[in-house]
Amino acid sequence: MKPSLLRAVLALSLCLRVALLTGQAQPTTPGAPYSFPPADLMRIGVYYYPQAWPAEQWPRDMANIKKMGMEFVHMGEFDWAFMEPTEGKFDFAWLDQNIALAAAQGLKVVLCTPSAAPPVWLTSAHPEVLMIDAAGRQMQHGTRQQASWSVPLYREYVGKIVAALGRRYGQDPRVWGWQIDNELSHYGKEPDYGPASQTSFRAWLRNKYGTIGALNRDWGNAFWSQVYQDFDQIRIPNQQEEVAQMNPHSLLDARRWFADETAGYLRFQTDILRQYCGHNQWITTNHMHDFAAVNPALTGKDFDLVTWTIYPVHGNANEGPLGFRLGSSATLSFAADFMRTINGQTGIMELQPGQVNWGEVNPQPYPGAVRLWLMRAFAAGAKFVCTYRYREPLSGPELYHNGLVGTDGVTPSIGGEQFMQAMREIAALRPLWRADARPPATYTARRAAIFYSFEDRWDLDNHKQNQAWDTYGHLLKYHTALKRLGAPVDVITEDKDFAAYPFLIVPAAQLVDAALVARWQTYAENGGHLILTCRTGQKDRRGFLWEGPWARPILDLIGARIKSYDTLPAPNVAHVKAGDQTHPWSTWGEILDPAAGTTVLAHYTDQFYAGAAAAVTRPLGRGSVTYIGVDSADGALEAQLVRGVYARAGVAVEDLAEGFCVDWRDGFWVATNFNAGAQPAPVPARARLLVGDRNVPTAGVAIWQE
């Protein structure tokens, strides 16, 4: 037998063994996802790590969690060493005790699979489960997330502990739901480059391409003699072991594989748990809010709701002079508007309670900012918000990380007080919830979608042409432009129905095919207002440029040719003018040549192409197509041009300051102010103000009902 064939057979038999052992081969239990009662609005809860505290304090802590107004407690996340202190010997007595204490207080319980923190007996006996980083170093015990989920043996162990948890608690009415693993990511060292991952990558490629010839063709391997003779010769692309530029097509496939691999691992655990809990308990994982390597949409059907983690203030700049204390409304909103569309139900699993310890600088949040984030989550539809963590640790790697209570273990922290306030406010709204409340037509007329593709993001990030180009920042500029109009926004993936939205923005959607462009065209012809932005349509799905004019497939749609593009090294800045406003730009600008019937909206005012078109629009069928070929420095051009599209469509909009969001949720209007100045809330005279004032201060919140 050829060594490659032998390896494949061995790998297959191991997979089958794991599948049989763990039930992986079972399909996810059919049935409707767990449904969160709308009248509950949003529940609030907190992480608690019983094993980190003396057992005699457990009853006091649980009672105080309840007294603070919390409604659920989250436990067991990294506790594998306590759940299975030695191989095959489980100990759940401590967890049973804490579940009983929580239930006695009327707190719901969220449990976790502990796979992000393997016990030392496991990794000592089987070091082959430890991940290998890009430099070839094997990770070791002493922190967390050191194991590779691509190693079948690791999955075997994970499968056993997940099944043990499912057997014990899957039918327990005190348990509300489950979190799988923790922020699946390998902490930026992604992927694992160990032998199991290499095997998995090759299997993925074999499955995708069938023959090595097809792979060589679609990776453009004729150049630099990159051709392979066999899939077994391929390794996961890794700059640490490649002396020159990496192949962009192999990189794109590696990112696709990694996203599929992590989704498969989440599904592997979910399928085991489902056998025990069905949909009577919900299952989710806590995705990072913007960790582009893992695509939450891939597991949308597996989970009952999609949850995510966010730490808005950790020394990052964010928008405005107070952004470093307030966080970014754009980031919070974009994540919420994306996660919510995946399967319709969303929540925040970790929300920063105060100062953290892992940023380069860890400032205090602005007074009231924690409540502001909670209410931003409420406005964006969260079914629950959980905070990391209850007690500020006195030992371990997260010293200096705030909790809901301080170092004495009982006194509410600054953030703790704000959680209590938010919980009181939500509880006061619940009796006012009405099942028949519907958003007003003036609001739904503004409904917009932003087209979001992880593959585009990966490909753009692999080949920026200007290191200052920021794909995520480009998307956020359009999200901010829409929120300033007071528009409800969904961030949608390609599989969604565009027709549900009067406005559709497609930012930098680089990888296209004829079918996708035809869908955009049909959307506009049928009355949609389509906005495409720079870098859209430049490549096919493999990441190849088109043979023909630049961005060939979209030229008829936008009514212009793209003659060339430019990008400037810092500190050079160029300018573009729209109407009477001039805007700086430097990262990307396309020089457009409009066809007859296309109107120029903006033109360059300097460089050797001064006077050339930068943005154009044209009517199409019952709708319109606008192409914005430049990425401005501050998003003001994007805000101006998007506003223009709404004006030409005759749709009435608001004129809200940046960072001041006004949203409708379940019959309530919610205004949240991330702007450094106080803002007037658009509260009609007849409305009933329930929270806050008409003049909303910085970090303030106003809630009203009409």
Of 79 and 350, which has the nearer Cβ to ligand GAL?
350
Helix (H, G, I), strand (E, B) or coil at 351: strand
Q: Label each residue of 278-340 as H, E or C.
A: CCCCEEEEEEECCCCCCCHHHHCCCCCCEEEEECCCCCCCCCCCCHHHHCCHHHHHHHHHHHH
Of 197 and 309, which has the nearer Cβ to ligand GAL?
309
Binding mask 151-190 for ligand GAL (x = CB under 6 A): -------------------------------xx-------
Q: Are 631 and 474 in contact (CB under 8 A)?
A: yes
Among positions 308, 311, 390, 669, the unique one binding ligand GAL when judged by CB under 6 A:
311
Phi/psi at 586 (5° precision): -155, -25
Question: Shortest distance, CB of residue 182 to ligand GAL, whole angstroms?
Answer: 5
Question: Shortest distance, CB of residue 50 to ligand GAL, whole angstroms?
Answer: 16
321-324's contacts with Cβ under 8 Å and 24+ in sequence apart are 321/676, 322/366, 322/676, 322/698, 323/674, 324/363
Binding mask 622-661 for ligand GAL (x = CB under 6 A): ----------------------------------------
Of 312 and 543, which has the nearer Cβ to ligand GAL?
312
Of 418 and 536, which has the nearer Cβ to ligand GAL?
418
Question: Shortest distance, CB of residue 177 to ligand GAL, whole angstroms?
Answer: 17
| Strand blocks (E) in 488-580 | 489-492, 503-506, 529-533, 560-566, 574-578
Q: What is the largest CA-CA distance in the chain?
A: 82
Closest to 668 measured CA to CA, from 434, 400, 349? 434
Of 168 and 401, which has the nearer Cβ to ligand GAL?
401
Ramachandran assignment for 250, one of left (phi > 0), alpha (psi -120 to 50 degrees), beta (any other): alpha
Among positions 221, 247, 309, 586, the unique one binding ligand GAL when judged by CB under 6 A:
309
Question: Shortest distance, CB of residue 311 to ligand GAL, whole angstroms?
Answer: 6
Q: Label each residue of 448-503 as H, E or C.
A: EEEECCHHHHHHHHHCCCCCCCCHHHHHHHHHHHHHHCCCCEEEECCCCCHHHCCE
Question: Shortest distance, CB of residue 671 to ligand GAL, whole angstroms?
Answer: 28
Q: How many residues form the binding site for ligand GAL (CB under 6 A)?
A: 10
Q: Computed from CA positions of residues 111, 113, 118, 119, in that sequence, does the dihedral angle turn out positive or negative?
A: positive
Residue 130 to residue 404: CA distance in whole angstroms? 34
Question: Shortest distance, CB of residue 257 to ligand GAL, whole angstroms?
Answer: 24
Of 222 and 399, which has the nearer Cβ to ligand GAL?
399
Of 398 and 654, which has the nearer Cβ to ligand GAL?
398
Of 382 and 691, which has the nearer Cβ to ligand GAL?
382
Among positions 117, 272, 356, 374, the unique one binding ligand GAL when judged by CB under 6 A:
356
- Type of residue at 688: R
Q: How many CA atoms lie within 13 A of 358 on its CB side?
A: 7
Binding mask 275-294 for ligand GAL (x = CB under 6 A): --------------------
Residue 56's contacts (CB-CB under 8 Å, 6 or more residues apart) are none
Neighbours of 15 (CB within 10 A): 15
Selected range binding ligand GAL among 336-344, 350-358, 602-610, 639-647, rule: CB under 6 A: 350-358
Residues 398-437 that bind ligand GAL (CB under 6 A): 398, 401
Helix (H, G, I), strand (E, B) or coil at 402: coil
Question: Shortest distance, CB of residue 114 to ligand GAL, whole angstroms?
Answer: 12
Question: Shortest distance, CB of residue 427 to ligand GAL, whole angstroms?
Answer: 27
Question: Shortest distance, CB of residue 171 to ligand GAL, whole angstroms?
Answer: 28
DSSP-assigned letter for residue 539: B
Question: Shortest distance, CB of residue 389 to ligand GAL, whole angstroms?
Answer: 8
Q: Are 524 and 624 in contact (CB under 8 A)?
A: yes
Residue 107 to residue 69: CA distance in whole angstroms? 10
If one asks whether residue 350 binds ligand GAL (CB under 6 A), the answer comes out as yes
**Strands 630-632 and 581-594, how do they pair?**
antiparallel
Q: Are 262 and 288 in contact (CB under 8 A)?
A: no
Of 401 and 583, which has the nearer Cβ to ligand GAL?
401
Residues 14-73 that bind ligand GAL (CB under 6 A): none
Of 221 and 355, which has the nearer Cβ to ligand GAL?
355
Question: Shortest distance, CB of residue 312 to ligand GAL, whole angstroms?
Answer: 11
Question: Shortest distance, CB of residue 144 to ligand GAL, whole angstroms?
Answer: 8
Of 309 and 617, which has the nearer Cβ to ligand GAL?
309
Q: Are 129 and 122 in contact (CB under 8 A)?
A: yes
If one asks whether residue 459 binds ligand GAL (CB under 6 A), the answer comes out as no
Q: Are 625 and 559 in contact (CB under 8 A)?
A: yes
Of 10 and 399, which has the nearer Cβ to ligand GAL?
399
If one asks whether residue 523 binds ligand GAL (CB under 6 A), the answer comes out as no
Of 282 and 311, which has the nearer Cβ to ligand GAL?
311
Of 36 and 49, which has the nearer Cβ to ligand GAL?
49
Binding mask 380-399 for ligand GAL (x = CB under 6 A): --------x---------x-
Of 395 and 572, which has the nearer Cβ to ligand GAL?
395
Q: Are 546 and 576 in contact (CB under 8 A)?
A: no
Query: Residue 465, Cα to own-chain centre: how many angstroms?
Result: 25
Question: Shortest distance, CB of residue 188 to ligand GAL, whole angstroms?
Answer: 11
Question: Shortest distance, CB of residue 192 to ligand GAL, whole angstroms?
Answer: 19
Question: Shortest distance, CB of residue 137 to ligand GAL, whole angstroms?
Answer: 22
Residue 172 to residue 277: CA distance in whole angstroms? 9
Helix (H, G, I), strand (E, B) or coil at 639: helix
Question: Shortest distance, CB of residue 400 to ligand GAL, whole angstroms?
Answer: 10
Place of tokens 């794109």: 252
Q: How far is CA 284 from CA 70, 271, 390, in A?
A: 20, 12, 21
Q: Which residue is nearest to ligand GAL (CB)?
A: 183
Of 165 and 356, which has the nearer Cβ to ligand GAL?
356
Binding residues (CB under 6 A) for ligand GAL: these are 182-183, 309, 311, 350, 356, 358, 388, 398, 401
